[in-house]
């Protein structure tokens, strides 16, 4: 299978007063296209830090990140933002939806980010149609005009998944996507991920919950800043 993302010897530390907190101490990881990978580890072990680096939301201190043959360390921030918008969809524990926008507008938002105002006018009908299709797929077609605060947690997370998929990103990254939901609702979200993965979507999901992790195709554990496969 083709490699989608490869990281080599990644290190990341944070300054804590006079000392440095070494969070990632040399991570090597290869993710193949079509994989569903769960990342587990204790709180503070660096799961979110690693996910942010994989999704180009942050840069490592050392080591390299290659997306297919593109070296991400070689890109300036502007190009990196463009790369992220086109390539990566994010789903977060607390949804991060925009409360002033409707459900439909939230789902459409990523498509708006990289086009001019004139371009947007031409593109909008297609984007609306795709957003509608995604929201319908995730059982939200009767919630299009709701605002996020009028939805349940599971519904909000399904809007977030629709938004993450808007630009057809080859890579879907999720940080504790079920962490704020009761277990039944959480399994519903996991079911959506499994379905997407069965259709070929590459997914990397951080979770605290080993039963959720067991449903992914592969689990990697972060311990002492290093990766352990299990
Ligand atoms: N911007 C930052 N500045 C300083 N320290 C940070 C920063 N971001 C994270 N850290 C520290 O780095 C460590 C790893 O954080 P990270 O958020 O990656 O952990 P995590 O495994 O996702 O934990 P959790 O399961 O609680 O979400 C933590 O000890 C955290 O306090
Ligand atoms: Mg975290």
Closest-CA residue, ligand 1 atom 29, reads: 44
Phi/psi for 10 (5° steps) reads -75, 135
Q: Which ligand is nearest to the CA of 53?
A: 1
Task: Output the CA 14–ligand 1 centroid distance in Å.
Answer: 9
Q: Was domain 3-229 assigned CATH 3.40.50.300?
A: yes
- Could you tell me the two tokens for 165? 């998929």
Distance in Å, CA 206 to ligand 2 centroid:
8
- Phi/psi of residue 197, nearest 5 degrees: -65, -40
0.75 exceeded by the pTM? yes
| Of residues 162, 160, 213, 153, the one with CA closest to residue 184 | 153
Residue with tokens 């979770």: 207
User: Which pLDDT value is given to residue 6?
Assistant: 97
Compute the CA torsion angle 130, 135, 137, 139 (nearest 10 deg). Answer: -160
3-state secondary structure of 19: strand
CA 227 to ligand 1 centroid distance, Å: 16
Residue-wise pLDDT tens digits, 74-100: 899 889 999 999 999 999 999 999 999
Structure tokens at 130: 């795709």
Verify whether ligand 1 is closer than 6 Å to residue 48 (CB atom): yes
Q: What is the pLDDT of residues 6-21, one digit of tens each?
A: 999 999 999 989 999 9
Angle at 69 between CA 64 and CA 72, to 5 degrees: 40
Atom of ligand 1 nearest to the CA of 222: 21
Q: Compute the CA torsion angle 99, 102, 170, 122 (nearest 10 deg).
A: -130
CB atoms under 10 Å from CB of 78, counted, come to 8
User: In percent, how much of the chain has pLDDT > 70?
Assistant: 100
Q: Which token pair is 154?
A: 């599971």
State the number of CA atoms in the 13 A half-sphere of 13 facing the CB.
Answer: 11
Q: Using CA positions, which residue lies closest to atom 31 of ligand 1?
A: 44
Nearest in space to 40 (alpha carbons), one of 200, 198, 211, 189: 211
pLDDT tens digits, one per residue of 13-64: 999 899 999 999 999 999 999 999 999 999 999 999 999 999 999 999 999 9
Instruction: Provide the pLDDT confidence category of residue 168 given band limits of 50, 70 and 90.
Output: very high
């Amino acid at each position: 299978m083709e490699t989608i993302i490869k990281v080599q010897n990644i290190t990341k530390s944070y300054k804590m007063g006079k000392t440095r907190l070494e969070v990632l101490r040399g991570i090597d990881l290869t993710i193949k296209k079509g994989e569903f990978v769960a990342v587990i580890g204790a709180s503070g072990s660096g799961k979110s830090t690693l996910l942010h680096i994989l999704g180009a939301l942050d840069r490592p201190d050392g080591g390299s990140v290659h997306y297919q043959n593109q070296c991400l360390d070689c890109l300036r921030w502007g190009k990196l933002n463009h790369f992220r918008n086109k390539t990566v969809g994010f789903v977060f524990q607390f949804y991060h939806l925009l409360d002033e926008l409707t459900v439909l507008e939230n789902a459409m938002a990523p498509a708006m980010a990289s086009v001019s105002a004139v371009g947007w006018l031409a593109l909008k009908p297609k984007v609306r149609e795709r957003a509608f299709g995604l929201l319908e797929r995730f059982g939200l077609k009767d919630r299009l005009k709701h605002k996020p605060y009028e939805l349940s947690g599971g519904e909000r997370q399904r809007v977030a998944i629709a938004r993450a998929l808007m630009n057809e990103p080859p890579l879907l990254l999720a940080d504790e996507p079920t962490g704020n939901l009761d277990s039944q609702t959480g399994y519903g979200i996991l079911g959506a991920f499994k379905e997407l993965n069965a259709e070929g979507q590459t997914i990397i999901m951080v979770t605290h919950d080993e039963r959720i992790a067991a449903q992914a195709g592969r689990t990697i554990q972060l311990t002492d800043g290093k990766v352990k496969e299990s």
